[in-house]
Amino acid sequence: MPDAPPHPKPFTSLAEPAALDDLRVRLRSTRWPDAPEDAGWSLGTDIAYLHELVDYWADGFDWPAQETALTRLPRFRIRLGGLGIHFVHARAVAPSGPVLPLVLNHGWPDSFWRYSKVIPLLTDPGAHGADPADAFDVVVPDMPGYGYSDRPTGPPLDSIAVAALWAELMGVLGYARFGAAGGDIGSHVSRYLALDHPDRVVAVHRMDGGLPVFTGDPADLAPEERAWFEDVTAWGASEGAYGAMHRTKPQTAAVGLTDSPAGLAAWIVEKLREWSDCGGDIERSFTKDEILTNVTLYWLTGTIGSSMRMYHTNAAIPPEQLTRRVEVPSGFSLFRGDIVRPPRAWLERTANVVRMTEPERGGHFAPFEEPELYAEELRAFFRPYRAAATG
């Protein structure tokens, strides 16, 4: 008999009390490193801040309350490509016009958590002071090896393979045509959705242009493109050590990060601070509860190693894939606090740019940092493409 078609099943996460007890024991037993006097964040995570965060994680943070809040999102699991995939599927509330299906693609170091604040703003704009005609059906999957999706037991999937999975997922959910949006690795996944499924993706919105790959004559680059390449190289030298580790020896780091919750928090928190629009004060962008919800998701699912391994697989994507031009209508919101922001000349070289904005607030995690602003960016960009998805 043929295999039954994949079917989503409702999903609720519930941490075992023993897992939370073990977490607290480990936190209270942290073996702390020394730090030079007044080092602050200059050498990586500020040990004084991390100590404060870990103390709160052990004795003040209420994970069951955060877990309950996440359960209010309509969450499901489905079997695709031999893997259990976790996703949010939130339908439009009281729409007054065509509803555009939208798949939102997260990056590292996060999961569906990245979009948890923005989902209700997109599904029910009328309840948040916006036009009900801009309502979306929203799908937010956890990539394999992230969040509550299965960790691949063989080679990790690259962004191309994840895009193919999401195209299949959207088909199973009944969406023949849809929009795609994302940032970080999710920007790559959105790009490959547009490249490999242009008959189904009506438009694609991204928060970045990725790291540049150019195989032509450098003399053909515009001055601002060459300057950006230099900026990216400088950023990689000062900030890119994490990525080099992920691409080359992720299992080495995974041992310590999977065993030590304080180490895991240090690895993630430093990036939340450095990449957000917080002006050096991480709690301008994230409360302790918000930070620890993201980190605890990684801890309880044991996915820090599998999430990092995707960098290794993506590093093997051939240059001819990386230099393909996206012809699907593309929009970019380059938030002022984000990293390695490309010039328009580069974006137009690599994509069919129909809209580019530079919001004054928000950084790499703008859907979480500035959900109202991010939601408005998506509403404005996708507005002309609603009829294309439903016609």
Residue whose structure tokens are 């065993």: 259
Which residues are registered as beta bridge partners of 153?
none
To 10 degrees, the CA torsion angle through 60, 66, 69, 70? 170
What distance, in Å, lies between the first and last C-alpha atoms of the chain?
36
Per annotation, catalytic residue among 184, 208, 277, 338: 184
Q: Which residues contact 340 (CB under 8 A, 6 or more apart)?
A: 208, 211, 228, 231, 232, 235
Per annotation, catalytic residue among 311, 338, 374, 385: 311
Whether 146 is catalytic is: no
125-147 burial, b at 16+ Cβ within 10 Å, e below that, comes to: bbeeebeeebbbbbbbbbbbbbb
Asked if residues 172 and 8 have their Cβ atoms less than 8 Å apart, the reply is yes
Residue count of the chain, please give it. 391
Q: Write the single-letter amino acid at 335.
A: F
Whether 312 is catalytic is: no
Asked if residues 377 and 317 have their Cβ atoms less than 8 Å apart, the reply is no
Neighbours of 20 (CB within 10 A): 15
* Residue 5 Cα distances to 78, 81, 85, 89, 177, angstroms: 10, 12, 15, 18, 20
Secondary-structure breakdown of the chain: helix, strand, coil percentages, each rounded to the nearest 5: 50, 15, 35
Asked if residues 78 and 84 have their Cβ atoms less than 8 Å apart, the reply is yes
Whether 184 is catalytic is: yes
Per annotation, catalytic residue among 242, 277, 364, 385: 364
Distance CA 328, CA 202 (A): 7
With CA atoms as reference, report the closest residue to 178 among 322, 328, 75, 76: 328
Query: For 178, what's the count of Cα atoms within 13 Å in the CB-facing half-sphere?
Result: 25
Distance CA 128, CA 24 (A): 38
Active site amino acids:
184, 311, 364
